[in-house]
Chains A and B, each alone.
Chain A
Amino acid sequence: MSLLEIDTLAVQYHTLHGAVQAVRGVTLSIERGRAVGLVGESGCGKTTLARALIGVLPRNAAIAGGRVRFDGADLLQLSGDALNDYRWRRIAMIPQAAMDSLDPVYRVGDQLVETMRLRGGLTSPQARERAERLFALVGLAPGRLRLYPHELSGGMKQRVVIAMALALEPQLVIADEPVTALDVIVQHQVLRTLRELQETLQLSLLLITHDISVVADLCDDVVVMYAGRIVEAGSVREVFAAPHHPYTMGLRNAFPSLRARSARLVPIEGYPPDLASPPAGCAFAPRCPFAIERCWHDDPALLPTTGGRLAACHRAAEADALRTQAPQAFARLEATGPQSVRSGAPPAGGTL
């Protein structure tokens, strides 16, 4: 049994313009001890998904359906204290704004101790001792425990937050864009530390990022998210070597580190749909160079394709053929702009 199984989870934001469906039926699972990368453009629902998993959604957001099973228990059925028992003790999170996640008026060590005392049931001396070990684990000198957040650099604060996440020995750590605010060299160091800890402590890691090169570097599995849905999932090696979904193919073209040096980078033309009124068909269709008539009105389900992988595409069976055309097709789309409703499949032979 997987450690975490999410089944058709939906999360809505209630805004002045009506309900926005940020997460629209996400299904994914995470095995014990695996590092899973969750990639997608900003606004695709990654962070909302993460915050739903830890049960701290923004005030105007609410879970609209689905199930989350963690280690056999249905988290969404739990309430109050029972749910709190999972929070941080079993599932910890490194939030997106890790730099601002520490209370400015207390020493970082005290905040670490507070968490261990109030949530882990440790006594103060025990917690202090453990705090030193945790700091050593994330590569911080024990003297730093006595500093205030503003006295630490961004990378050090990030490490403090990682130590905080590991404090109660959770089984799953969710890291939401853990390094975006740091400079490139520090990013690399922090990510390496994270991966090493994940391996030595046998954690499950859900690493959320928009940077697929990070996932390729650090993760075992990858899940690709688009417009509140999972569009492709599988092992990192297989998915990046041979994507089955056109969006993944587009992502691969758009990032430098995964392509040969000579290849031109091709961005994916257009914008994700407005999730206040999601389209009837495939959400990616307007930006997809391979969209056919069916894509515009029939939303594809996430189904197994070859090799135990999952993809949500009507043309997944033709994936190998499409992949070879992808660079040119996306480039052509970039030149002509995204397609309007029901223009059907774009002509392969190029009119105009």
Chain B
Amino acid sequence: MNRVSFLLGRLLQMVVVLWVVATLLFLIFRLMPGNPLVAYIDTNFTAEMQQTLLRQFGLDRPLHVQYAIYLGNLVRGEFGRSFFSREPVSQVMWQVLPNTLVLTLSALLLAYVVGVLGGALLAARRGSWTEAWGIPAVLATRAAPEFWVGMLALAVFSFTLNWFPSFGATSPGSVYPNWWAKVVSWDFLRHLTLPVLTLALYLQGLPTLLMRSTMLEVMDEDFITFCRMRGLPERTILLRHAARNALLPVVTAFALGIGYSIGGNVIIETVFSWPGLGRTLVRAVAAKDYPVAQAAFFLIACVMIAMNFVADLLYTMLDPRVSHEQQ
């Protein structure tokens, strides 16, 4: 199987997964206890007015017709309006998606730089005191609930030391000419610091442990021994050969990590009241604002699945063997 057909296969698989997720969403939200409009409809509405509303939302049609309309809307990126704010859902999504991406990407970048270096260090110090306590310490960062670490960070750095603000992405009342001006502003960066550090602390565990174990594995490979026999400089062996080979699964994990952490963002965004996708999802689900919840979930799933695909893509680019080893 060559590279292209492998990727096409993955693409097809992606579409299927998205379709399944969309269908699950449809079923869950239609089967939610009570009429989906319960929250929306005023008890004073007459039966006639209710019927009009139901028609307006297409809820009087048979289920399979609703399903077709729903899928069609999804494909066109049409998510309807929020039950509460009456804003178009897509508009809400455009407001929060960039915040989520900024938070996630900066945290991931930080986590992977620290993780790759830390993992390589742990591998280089094998059998030492550093390794004996370093690994449990890394496991501890993965075992500590993210929201709890966030609470500790807030208690110490915002409420005690007053170094960083405790909620939101910008100070109340601040206005910026455009999105870029906001993102590079000092105020935004101060708001971003704690969430990013908390998320990065959690995310670095995977690349650290992965880098360490693959590095150790690679260092035992025959081609590294052969490099040593050839008398190549130690730095060349470690970086150009060992780390380059060890990086393969780590880079793949990076792309996958984006996917998983977008899902996990729900927690960080809630703790730090960060106006992103995850927090929007939590609030919409709690408030039974189904159009918003549906869209937020669907977007999260899209980002995650797309990142899985990017991971595949990176892998085929980094490993010349991949097209031969596909099952």
Q: Do chains A and B touch in the complex (CB under 8 A)?
A: yes
Give A contacts to B, CB under 8 Å. Answer: 54, 56, 84, 87-89, 92-93, 95, 97, 100-105, 114-115, 118-119, 148, 150, 161, 164
CB-based contact B223/A103 at 8 Å = yes
Report B216-241 CB contacts with A as 1/0, cut-off 8 Å. 00000111011111111100100011
Q: Which residue of B lies closest to A97 (CB)?
A: B222
**A114–B318 Cα gap in the complex (Å)?**
19
Q: Which residues of B contact A105 (CB under 8 A)?
A: 244-245, 248, 318-320
**With A100-B223, A103-B241 known to touch, is A56 a contact of B229 (CB < 8 Å)?**
yes
B321 within 8 A of A: yes
Central interface residue in B223, B233, B318, by most chain A CB within 10 Å: B223
Pick from A84, A93, A95, A118: contact of B222, CB under 8 Å: A95
Given contacts A87-B231, A148-B321, contact A101 B236 (CB under 8 A): no
B318 touches A150 (CB 8 A): no
With A and B bound together, what is the CA distance between A104 and B224 in angstroms?
Answer: 11
Which residue of the partner chain, among B230, B236, B245, B319, contacts A164 with CB atoms under 8 Å? B230
Q: Select from chain A the residue with minimum beta-carbon distance to B236.
A: A118
Q: How far is the CA of A150 from the CA of B321 in the complex (A)?
A: 7
Q: Report B315 CB to chain A, min CB distance, Å.
A: 12
Task: Check if B245 sits within 8 Å of A56, measured CB to CB.
Answer: no
Closest CB-CB distance, A126 to chain B, in whole Å?
A: 18
Measured between beta carbons, the chain B residues less than 8 angstroms from A89 are 231
- Residues of B contacting A150 with CB < 8 Å? 320-321, 324
User: What A residues does B223 contact at CB under 8 A?
Assistant: 100-104
Contact A101 B226, beta carbon cutoff 8 Å: yes
Most B CB within 10 A of own CB, among A102, A105, A114, A118: A105
Cα–Cα, bound, A87→B226 (Å): 12
State A118–B236 Cα separation when bound (angstroms). Answer: 9
Determine if B230 and A115 form an interchain contact, defined as CB atoms under 8 angstroms apart: yes
**Bound: A93/B233 CA distance, A:** 17
A164 to B231, CA, bound (A): 12
CA distance A100 to B227 in the complex (A): 12
Report B's interface with A, CB cutoff 8 A: 221-223, 225-233, 236, 240-241, 244-245, 248, 318-321, 324
Q: Is the interface of B mostly helix, strand, loop or mixed?
A: helix
Pick from B226, B232, B236, B321: contact of A104, CB under 8 Å:
B321
Contact among A102, A118, A148 for B226, CB-based, below 8 A: A102
A119 lies within 8 A of B222 (CB)? no
Is the beta-carbon distance between B232 and A114 smaller than 8 angstroms? Answer: yes
Is B222 touching A101 in the complex (CB atoms < 8 A)?
A: yes
Task: Give the complex CA separation of A188 and B229 in angstroms.
Answer: 25
**Contact assessment for A93 and B321 in the assembled complex, using a CB-CB cutoff below 8 Å:** no
The smallest C-beta distance from A160 to any residue of chain B, in angstroms, reads 11
Most buried by A among B221, B229, B236: B229
Is there an interface contact between A104 and B320, defined as CB atoms closer than 8 Å?
yes
Q: Complex formed: what's the CA distance from A102 to B229 in Å?
A: 12
* Also in contact, A88 and B236, with CB within 8 A (given A101-B222, A104-B321): no
Contacts of A101 in B (CB 8 A): 222-223, 225-226
The residues of A that contact B241 with a CB separation of less than 8 Å are 103
Q: Contact at B230–A100, with CB atoms within 8 Å?
A: no
Sorted nearest first, the 4 A-B pairs with minimum C-beta distance are: A101-B226, A87-B231, A97-B222, A100-B222
Across the interface, which residues of B come within 8 angstroms of A97, CB to CB? 222, 225
Write out the residue numbers on chain B whose beta carbons fall within 8 Å of the beta carbon of A92.
229
A100 to B245, CA, bound (A): 14
Among A84, A104, A164, max chain B CB count under 10 A is at A104
For A161, list chain B residues within 8 Å (CB). 226
Query: What is the CA–CA distance of A50 and B241 in the complex, to the nearest angstrom?
Result: 23
Question: In chain A, what residue has the closest Cβ to B242?
Answer: A103
Contacts of B233 in A (CB 8 A): 118
- The answer on a CB contact under 8 Å between A87 and B321 is no
Residues of B contacting A84 in the complex (Cβ-Cβ under 8 angstroms): 231
Q: Is the CB of A95 within 8 A of B225?
A: yes
A50 to B320: give the CA distance in the assembly, Å: 32
Collect the chain B residues with CB atoms within 8 Å of residue A88's CB: 229-231
Please give the distance in Å from A63's CB to the nearest CB on chain B. 16
Q: Distance (Å) between the CB of A124 and the closest chain B CB?
A: 15
Complex Cα gap A89–B252 (Å): 38
Closest A residue to B245 by beta carbon equals A105
> In this complex, what residue of A is CB-closest to B248?
A105
Complex Cα gap A236–B241 (Å)? 41
Residue of A54, A87, A93, A101 ringed by the most chain B CB atoms within 10 A:
A101
- B320's closest neighbor in chain A, by CB? A148
- With CB as the reference atom, state the residue of chain A lying closest to B244: A105
Minimal Cβ-Cβ distance residue in B for A150: B321
Residues of A within 8 A of B248 (CB): 105
Q: In the complex, what residue of chain B is closest to A147 when comparing beta carbons?
A: B320
A–B Cβ pairs within 8 angstroms, 11 of them: A54-B229, A56-B228, A56-B229, A87-B231, A93-B229, A95-B222, A101-B222, A102-B223, A105-B244, A105-B245, A115-B232
Of all chain A residues, the one with the shortest Cβ separation from B241 is: A103
- Minimum CB–CB distance from B33 to chain A (whole Å) comes to 55
Which residues on B sit within 8 Å (CB–CB) of A119? 230-232
A239 to B161, CA, bound (A): 85
B6 to A: closest C-beta gap in Å? 15
Whose C-beta in chain A lies nearest to the C-beta of B319? A105
Contacts of B221 in A (CB 8 A): 100
| A87 to B227 CA separation, bound complex (whole angstroms) | 11
- A100-B223, A101-B225, A114-B232 known; 20 new pairs, CB 8 Å cut-off, are A56-B229, A84-B231, A88-B229, A92-B229, A95-B225, A95-B226, A100-B221, A100-B222, A101-B223, A103-B227, A103-B241, A103-B244, A103-B245, A104-B245, A104-B320, A105-B245, A115-B232, A119-B231, A148-B321, A150-B324
CA distance A150 to B316 in the complex (A): 14
